[in-house]
Amino acid sequence: MTKHILIIGLGLIGGSLAKALQRNRDVHVAGYDSSALTSRKAFKMGIIHSSPPSLEQAASEADVIIFATPVGATIKLMEQSKYWKLKDDVILTDTGSTKTQIMEASKKLNHLFIGGHPMAGSHKSGVEAAKEVLFENAFYILTPNHQTDEKHMQCLTNLLAVTKAKIKVLTAEEHDHMTAIVSHFPHLIAASLVHQLDHEEKFPFTRQLAAGGFRDTTRIASANPEMWRDITTQNNVMIVQQLENWMEQMEELKQMLQKNDPEPIQEYFTHAKMVRDKLPISGHGAMFSVFDLYIDIPDVPGVISELTGYLAEEQISIVNLRILETREDVFGILIISFQTTEDRARAQKCISTRTIYDTYIS
């Protein structure tokens, strides 16, 4: 029996979900977007099976409705859904990156709602960037509410299994606390570092020096400002708590530096290195990330085109590449970024077998 899925919002996440769900031949994926042009484009590209003329009609036929829209828009759509003629056993879910407000809003619904957050992304956006492999090996968090039973959880889990994501069940509070630590709060820090650079007037050349490690450290500050405004306001309590904890730690660090005792300063960095080195280097975390391969290369003409040529022959897609340092007679570091760990592993093998350049993962 064919299961009808409606995805509302056909951006990167909604479009990628639509493509991944089509792996199940017993599923019909309908798509709706506030932009009629986006809906038509998604249909022509085969991302969705159908593009219904109205949201209400599509919702009435759906067994599962996925809100792949920003959290604020999702809450408004959830409110509207109370006036839709839905199937009695329909499952409503979302893809929002904060969960507490969503789950609070779900208490007012007439139908079952299970919160969701696929922790995957891309350097590209829009339906054109949709990829059916986007969620493979990424965490997909589900946050049930008090109405959710095992039957409905299993139904949604089975549906999402074809995405090849790692399904985990958390409460909304657990989700928002953890993502505040490893995703939301780091964006504030990255943005604050950029602001600190922007306020540097005494030595203008500082901006030129920021082209290396500083730029990599603050990469996430280039994310969509409107999206991060919403995330910050929606998960405000958790983020403020993390900021307070961090300010306490910075005060302790300040006092340590004022004493200028080398031993505790070294221990501070040693502990940080130990914890960081134990972090997993495979799979996806709470933030969108690319997977970097570091290559020691000589500063000679043609070396970069040589390496990228090898990768092109193996049809390995590159997200980005950059050079950390290159001077005459000194080896520089070429960093090539990939979308998946699998692509990085293939690239490392490809380069290692064809060249004498050292490759490593940091």
pLDDT reported for residue 145: 87
Task: Determine if the pTM surpasses 0.85.
Answer: no
Closest CA to 38 of 70, 10, 69: 10
**CATH class as words, domain 3-170:** alpha beta
Give 186-220 pLDDT, tens digit per residue: 999 999 999 999 998 899 888 888 876 788 788 88
105-114 pLDDT per residue, tens:
999 998 999 9
d(Cα 341, Cα 84) in Å, to the nearest integer? 43
Task: Round to whole Å and give the CA distance between 31 and 40.
Answer: 10
> Which pLDDT belongs to residue 284?
60
**Residue 275 burial (CB < 10 Å; 0-12/13-18/19+)?**
exposed
pLDDT tens for each residue of 298-329: 777 888 899 999 999 999 988 888 776 544 44
Contact (CB, 8 A) for 274 and 267? no
Q: What residue spans define the domains of the chain?
A: 3-170, 175-277, 291-360
The CATH H-level (homologous superfamily) assignment of domain 175-277 is 6-phosphogluconate dehydrogenase C-terminal like domain (1.10.3660.10)
End-to-end CA distance of the chain: 48
- Alpha helices by DSSP H, the chain: 12-21, 36-44, 55-61, 71-81, 100-106, 150-160, 172-179, 185-198, 206-209, 213-217, 225-234, 236-259, 262-277, 303-313, 341-354
Q: What tens digit of pLDDT does each residue of 249-306 get?
A: 999 999 999 999 999 999 999 999 999 888 876 556 655 566 788 888 877 788 889 9
- Rounded Cα–Cα distance for residues 243 and 57 (Å): 45
What is the residue whose two structure tokens read 């996925």?
Answer: 66
Residues 6+ positions from 276 with CB-CB distance below 8 Å:
none
Write down the mean pLDDT value for the chain: 89
Q: How confident is the model at residue 349 (pLDDT cuts 50, 70, 90)?
A: very high
Specify whether domain 291-360 bears CATH 1.20.1440.230. Answer: no
Residue 117 has pLDDT above 90, yes or no: yes
Contact between 122 and 290 (Cβ < 8 Å): no
